[in-house]
A and B are shown apart, each in its own frame.
Chain A
Amino acid sequence: MDQTPAATNPIAAQLTRRGRWGIGEILFWLIASAALFLLPERLLFLNEIAILGLFAVSLDLILGYAGIISLGHGAFFGLGAYTAGLLTKHAVTDPLLGLLVAAVAAALLGLVTSFLVLRGADLTKLMVTLGITLVLYEIANQAAWLTGGADGLQGITVGPLLGVFEFDLFGQTAYAYSLAVTFVLFVIARRLVVSPFGISLRSIRENPLRARAIGIPVNRRLVAIYTLAAAYAGVAGALLAQTTQFVSLDVLSFARSADVLLVLVIGGIGYLYGGLIGAVVFKLLQDALADMTPQYWQFWIGLILVVIVMAGPERLTERAASLWTGSLARLLGRLRQPKAMPARET
C-alpha cells in the first residue's frame, strides 16, 4: 500500500513484504463475508465466532507479540460488555457510540492495571490478571441494582446501526456488524505488528535486556500495547452485549478468559490469524461436541487441548503457517513476479 521510493529497493521489499496482503488472507475475509449470505440460518453462531475472534486477536497482541501472559483478559471483555449494555439501557442507544465508550472504559482499566501486571514475572502476571477479573466478577455480582447480578443485565434495546439497519432476530445485522468491526480492528492490528512499534514489541518479547540496551523504552511500549489490547477486548465485549441485547455475569467468568487462551493455543500464537482461525475451530468443536455429547463436551475440549499442547502448538502452527505462507504464497508470488527476491543488494 505504501509505495514510497524505498519500496523499489529489494532490501526494503523484504521488510515491507509482510505488510502486503496475501491471496489467502483476502480469501479468508471473502469467505467470512460470503457466509452472511450462504449460511443465513447460522448467523447468530457466526456472530459469536467473529466476536470470539476479535477477543482472541486482542489477546494475541499482548501474548503473541509482546509476550505478556494473561489469565484474566476477560476483565476487559466483561467491562466492555457491561459498559455498552448499561449505556444502551440508560442513555444512548447508538451502537457505534456504545463501542467507542466501551473501548475507552476498557482501555482505561487496561492502562491502570498495566502498572500492576507488568511489574512481575510470568506467574505474577497470571495471578494479577486472574485476580483483577475475579474482583470485577464479584463487583458485578454484588452490584445487582446496576448490573442485574446473577440474573444478568436485561432490557437492552440497541438502536439501528448507522441509524438505518435494525438488529433482526436472525442475526443478519449482528453478524455483518461484528464482522465489519472485527475486520477494521484486525486491519489496524495487522499494520501495527509490522510497524517499527510492532517489531519493537517482538524484540521485547525475545530479549527485553537487549531491547532496553538499544534505547527502547520497554515499559512504555508494554503499557501502550496492553492498553490497546484492553480496548480491543472491550469492543469485543460490547459487540456481544449489543448483538445479544443481554449481558450475563459470565462475561467476567474465569472460563471466558481461559477459553480465549485456548482459542489462541488452537489457532497459534503470534500471527493474528491464529486468533481468528482458532475461534472458528473452537466454536465448531464446541458446537459439534455439544451436539454429540451434550454433557461431556468440555471433556473432549480438554482432551484435545492436551493433545495440541503435547504435540507442540508451535510446531503445529509453524507447519500450518509455512504451508500457508510458504508454498501458497511462493506459488502466487512466482506468478506475479518472475523471480523471488534474494537478500543481496542491487
Chain B
Amino acid sequence: MQPALETKGLVKRFGALPATDNVSFRLEQGARHALIGPNGAGKTTFINLLTGVLTPSAGQIFLEGADITRLAPELRVQRGLARTFQINQLFPAMTPLETLGLAVSERMRAGNDWWRVMGSNSAVIDEIVTLARRFGLMDVLGERTSNLPYGKQRLLEIALAFACRPRVLLLDEPAAGVPEAERHELLAIVAALPREVSVLLIEHDMDLVFSFASRISVLVNGALLTEGGVQEVASDARVRAVYLGESLDA
C-alpha cells in the first residue's frame, strides 16, 4: 500500500551542520507512529521540513504518493497534512469558536468570502460543534483563548489541526506541560483520533509513546538510528545507550 507520508534521502544543512541527515522515512496509512530522540536530535527540523516551513537541502517528500517537496506550507495543509505545535500557537484574542470557525471555513475554501458573516453557513456551524464535542471544548467556545486553562488550550491546539481534516496529522509533544489533572482527558482524546488519519507523534514522554504508538522511529544527530515495533525498539541496545536507560524500562 502507498504510504501516507514518505521522505527519500531528506537532508537539511545549516551551514556545514546537517540537522537532518539523509532521512528516508515511511508513515503507513492509518499508522500510529512515534518519532523519538534526545534533545537536539533534529525532530523539530524534520517536522519543519515536512510542513514546508523549511526547504530541504536535498531529498524529496511525498504525501500520498504526490511530491510535495517544493509546495508552499498552506498548500500542503490543503492537501491534508496538518500539524500541532510543541508550544501553543493559537490566536490569543480570539475565541475557540472563532478559531475553529476560521479553520473550518478555510478548509471549505470559504476563506475568501468577505461578504457573508462567519457563522451564517450552517455546514460550518455543524462542524464546529462536532469538533468542540470531540475535543471537549463545548463549555469554553465563547471564551477568550488566552483565558482558557492550559489543558484546554492544548486541546484547542489539536482541534485546530484536526479541523483541517488532515489525512496525516503531526502531533508535536501534545501533552507537553499539561498538568496531571488535565492529562487524562487529553490522552483519551488523542487515543480516540479516527483510524483513517495517519498520525506521527513526536514525543519525549515514553509512557505516552508506548501507550499510543505501534511503531517507533529513533532520530539521533539528524539521522534515523533505528525503526521498528515498540518492543523491538525498547529493547534495542543502541537506543538504550542513547537514552542512558532513561525511563525506557517503563
* Chain A residues packing against B (C-beta within 8 Å): 2, 4-7, 9, 11-16, 18-19, 191-192, 194-200, 202-203, 206-207, 209-210, 212-218, 221, 342-345
Contacts and interface: CB of A to CB of B under 8 A. Distances in A.
B249 interface: no
B164 to A, nearest CB: 6
Contacts of A12: 119-120, 122, 125
B97 A215 contact: no
B111 A216 contact: yes
Given A12-B125, A191-B117, A197-B113, A213 B106 contact: no
Given A11-B125, A203-B102, A217-B74, A194 B91 contact: no
Contacts of B103: 214-215
B109 to A, nearest CB: 9
Contact of B140 (A200, A213, A343): A343
Interface string B98-115: 110111011100111111
Interface of B: 51, 72-75, 77-78, 82-83, 85, 89-94, 97-99, 101-103, 105-107, 110-122, 124-125, 128-129, 138-143, 160-161, 163-164
Contact of A15 (B74, B118, B138): B118
Contacts of A9: 122, 125
Contacts of A14: 97, 119, 141-142
B190 to A, nearest CB: 18
Q: Which of A9, A13, A214 has the most CB of B within 10 A?
A: A214
Nearest to B112: A197
Contact of B73 (A2, A11, A212, A345): A212
B139 A191 contact: no
B232 to A, nearest CB: 33
B90 A210 contact: yes
B77 A194 contact: no
25 contacts: A2-B116, A4-B120, A4-B122, A6-B120, A9-B125, A12-B122, A12-B125, A14-B141, A15-B118, A15-B119, A191-B114, A194-B117, A195-B118, A196-B101, A196-B112, A196-B114, A199-B102, A213-B73, A214-B160, A215-B74, A215-B78, A215-B107, A217-B72, A218-B74, A344-B138
Contacts of A214: 77, 82, 102-103, 106, 160-161, 163-164
B115 A16 contact: no
Contacts of B160: 210, 214
Given A9-B125, A11-B125, A18-B117, 14 more contacts: A5-B122, A11-B119, A12-B122, A14-B119, A16-B117, A196-B106, A197-B111, A198-B118, A203-B94, A212-B73, A214-B106, A215-B107, A343-B97, A344-B139
Given A5-B122, A200-B106, A214-B82, A343 B73 contact: no
